[in-house]
Amino acid sequence: MSEAHRTTYRHGELRETLVAVGVEMARNGGTDAVVLREATRRAGVSPNAAYRHFADRQELLLAVSAVAQGIAADRMVAAIAEFEPTGDAATDARNSLRGVGTGYLAFARDEPGLFRAAFSVPDDLANAHSSAKAGADGRTPFQILGDVLDQLCEAGVLPADRRVGAELLAWSSVHGLGMLLIDGPLRGFTPEMAEVTAQRLLDMVQRGL
């Protein structure tokens, strides 16, 4: 991560190092804490070296954001896995949807800095499938949500005519709560209050989707 002094003139892995350091900075402090000069300092390199790998700070931010989304994806699949299969496709699908939401919100709570870095850095939906944003199993958060919605659809829980675009509805709800909890007026909620609200929100989504 932070090799303060190196022997070779060439660093060799500067880009990767800068991203890794950036992620660490984002972890506490969020997007604003990702400071280009500080990152190069920790990488043991002059400030301008970064510009050989990123056009500007924003581009570094995008790379950090992608990594953070991958971490979020891992949280989500882990939360899905918490539910044991019941054998009933409908119940399993519903549980998976709940897992997606719970994982997303757990990520927001446990890693608020990474959460903001992951989901409030401007980026187009068109890139939502870019592999850089994928978790360990190769799926991005958006894809995971999509797969669960498909599952819900196949199980007959979600009417087919409501399937398209359902990602955005579910995502909006959960994302909004996440933001309000860490940056907004719901900051200061105890973990218990947050959990209760989260489960109620997921109930609402399930009913309303």
Binding residues for DNA, rule: CB under 7 A, are: 8-12, 14, 35-38, 45-49, 51-53, 56-58
> Virtual CA dihedral for 21, 23, 29, 32, nearest 10 degrees?
90
Task: Please enumerate in sequence order all residues whose Cβ is within 8 A of that of 69, keeping only pairs 6 or more positions apart, or say none.
Answer: 118, 119, 133, 140, 141
The site partner of 206 among its own copies, DNA, none (C-beta below 5 to 8 Å per kind) is its own copies
Place of tokens 């997921």: 202
The site partner of 209 among its own copies, DNA, none (C-beta below 5 to 8 Å per kind) is its own copies
Q: Closest Cα to residue 56, out of 78, 39, 43, 76?
A: 39
Residue closer to its own copies, measured from CB, 107 or 171: 171
The site partner of 36 among its own copies, DNA, none (C-beta below 5 to 8 Å per kind) is DNA
Tell me the DSSP string of 61-84: HHHHHHHHHHHHHHHHHHHHHTSP
**x/- string (CB under 8 A) for its own copies, residues 91-120?**
----------------------------xx
Tell which one of 125, 160, 161, 190 touches its own copies (CB under 8 A): 125
Residue closer to DNA, measured from CB, 53 or 163: 53
Tell which one of 84, 126, 161, 191 touches its own copies (CB under 8 A): 126
Place of tokens 């190196």: 6
Contact 60, 50 (CB under 8 A): yes
d(CA 39, CA 18): 6
The conformation of residue 56, written as its DSSP 8-state character, comes to S
Residue closer to its own copies, measured from CB, 30 or 99: 30
Q: Residue 183 burial (CB < 10 Å; 0-12/13-18/19+)?
A: middle
Q: Does 188 bind its own copies (CB under 8 A)?
A: yes
Q: Does 68 bind its own copies (CB under 8 A)?
A: no
**x/- string (CB under 8 A) for its own copies, residues 136-175?**
------x----------------------x--xx-xxxxx
User: Under the rule (CB under 8 A), what is the footprint of its own copies?
Assistant: 119-128, 142, 165, 168-169, 171-180, 183-189, 196-197, 200-201, 203-209
